[in-house]
Amino acid sequence: MISVLVADDSALVRRLVTGVLNDTPDIRVVGTAVNGKQAIEKADELKPDIITLDIEMPIMDGLTALRELRRRHPSLPVIMFSTLTERGAAVTLDALASGASDYITKPSGAGSLAQSLDSVGAQLIPRVRALAARGRRAARRPVVPAKPATPLTSLRSRGPVQVLAIGSSTGGPDALSKVLGSLPERPRVPIVIVQHMPTVFTAMLARRLDQLGPSTVVEATDNQPLQPGTVYIAPGGRHLEVQRRGMGVFTRLHDGEPENFSRPSVDVLFRSVAAAYPGTALAVILTGMGHDGRDGSAAISATGSAVVAQDEPTSVVWGMPGAVTEAGIANAVLPLEEIGRYLGQALLAGKAQRPALATMEGRRT
């Protein structure tokens, strides 16, 4: 049974979230809190598996409470409740940078109670299960000293890397900031990214990532020519593809059906990358729930391009990179900090070179 502490100053939201979770057979709400101070006290007392934390609360807000929870309980998963507004997006990204595991958006209030329940349940229950499972695996994993790295087989590629494609979800904003922020110089290729996020949030994410490193980061618009050194992030709620026309490659946004319950979808982007850049792409799958990106990575790999996956210990959720790894698609499975260093070398050199460290799969238990 997964135990959850629900912290929100709204009695209605507390009842709604508690009802949704308690109606789920493997989840139980063990306590509620009406402000951040109370959430910290009850976390110490009840030792829940997960905390849901509202951002705006009296006495102590959710962001302040989160930072204290991270100090006291570094590995305790915390899911933030956010509003679908620019301010809500900004504070949510602050929370993710401060160690929140994930977030969900509150219902707008325009729909019925049943619609609100469905919205909360669809977002919250999979996250609670995924984060609780990761926390329990981490608690059981013995602490062992790092093993010396052993060489990896060189990543295969038919030619110089011409594009970097990245897919991420849960834990992705922080992972993307580390990867893009670690690039030592402006890359010589364009970078296209799908991060599972709603509208408003992706524009805010692009602005923040733009401040971190040498690349120019933008939220993609339709029919943009891909330029070296520019990062294009799929806008929330729209699929991003790339299409080769004449001598150039251009973005294409559309409102096709969600894939893997997601729009934008990593698979949609990666399939288009495989078609536009056969044998000359480099794909990276970062932390995230589910398996979006697995089939698209297979399409990229089938053309002779390389695929790199984040390892389990450094992933918030090892769903997406785990699916790629377990399908035998990943050419390398690396910790997050090594992905950033490897990409810096590979992109600046214009080709995929041997990573500095070996796959970390041998450390998993």
Query: pLDDT at residue 43 above 80?
Result: yes
Q: Is beta strand 191-195 parallel, antiparallel or unpaired with respect to 230-233?
A: parallel
Query: pLDDT at residue 152 above 70?
Result: no
Query: pLDDT at residue 360 above 60?
Result: no
Tens digits of per-residue pLDDT, 103-134? 998 876 656 677 878 888 999 999 999 999 87
**Identity (one letter) of the amino acid at 243?**
Q
Question: Which one of the listed residues 8, 49, 292, 311 is annotated catalytic?
Answer: 292
Helices (H), 141-185: 172-181
Q: What is the pTM of this model?
A: 0.88
Q: Cis before residue 264, ω within 30 degrees of 0?
A: yes
Tens digits of per-residue pLDDT, 275-322? 999 999 999 999 999 999 999 999 999 999 999 999 999 999 999 999
Taking alpha carbons only, the member of 263, 25, 39, 32 closest to residue 125 is 25
- 61 belongs to the catalytic site: no
Question: Which one of the listed residues 116, 169, 215, 315 is annotated catalytic?
Answer: 169
Tens digits of per-residue pLDDT, 177-211? 999 998 888 989 999 999 999 999 999 999 999 99
Architecture of the CATH domain 163-363:
3-Layer(aba) Sandwich (3.40)
Paired with 310 in beta bridges are: 334
- 292 belongs to the catalytic site: yes
Task: Kindly tell me the burial class for residue 235, based on how many C-beta atoms sit within 10 Å of its own C-beta (0-12, 13-18, 19 or more).
Answer: buried
- 254 belongs to the catalytic site: no
Angular region, 354: left φ>0, alpha ψ -120 to 50, beta rest: beta
Query: pLDDT at residue 353 above 60?
Result: no
Domain ranges of the chain: 2-140, 163-363
Find out if CATH 3.20.20.70 is the number for domain 2-140: no
**Cβ–Cβ < 8 Å for 150, 349:** no
Tens digits of per-residue pLDDT, 46-62? 999 999 999 999 999 99
Specify the pLDDT at position 184: 83
Query: pLDDT at residue 354 above 50?
Result: no
**Identity (one letter) of the amino acid at 354?**
R
2-140 with 163-363: one CATH topology? Answer: yes
Cα separation, 228 vs 188, whole angstroms: 5
159-182 core/surface letters (b: 16 or more CB in 10 A; e: else): eebbbbbbbbbbbbbbbbbbbbeb
Specify the pLDDT at position 156: 45
Question: Which one of the listed residues 82, 116, 174, 196 is annotated catalytic?
Answer: 196
Average pLDDT for residues 325-344, to the nearest whole number? 91
Average pLDDT for residues 236-247, to the nearest whole number? 96
Taking alpha carbons only, the member of 241, 231, 242, 238 closest to residue 198 is 238
Paired with 31 in beta bridges are: 5
Three-state DSSP class for 131? Answer: helix
Query: pLDDT at residue 352 above 90?
Result: no
